[in-house]
Amino acid sequence: MSTLWLWASDACLLIGSFLLLTGALGFLRFPDFYARIHACGVTETLATGFVLLGLLLRSDDAMPQVKLVLILLFVLFSSPTASHALAKAAWNAGVRPRDNSGKRRVSLPHTDP
């Protein structure tokens, strides 16, 4: 039973690390600001979730588990909010989405009045 938990924990940690890696890659390679935020924000939330889940399965004491769950809750609250704040600040500062080469502006489906 415990080896099964360990395997599951290993799998979670690996998936989390892989997602973090893809996030970093996306942050470096994506053409415009919003795509980069997307790469960071989405993978960060999911990857942190996986890493914390992996650690949760690995620990066998109640106190660290409670703390990990609290950290997970905090990340689930704060990380998307931080991404949102960045994106909103960028929009207010006049940053607009660009095309794949990062040169031209993309025409938006609808513009705010």
Least distance in Å: CB of 64 to other proteins? 14
92 touches other proteins by CB under 8 A: yes
Q: Could you tell me if 65 and 85 are in contact, meaning their C-beta atoms sit under 8 angstroms apart?
A: no
CA dist 103 → 99, 106, 109 (Å) = 6, 9, 19
Which helix (H) or strand (E) element contains residue 23? helix 2-29
Q: Can you tell me which of 85, 99, 102, 105 binds other proteins, judged by CB under 8 A?
A: 85
Q: Which stretch binds other proteins (CB under 8 A): 10-18, 37-45, 75-83, 97-105?
A: 75-83
Least distance in Å: CB of 41 to other proteins? 13
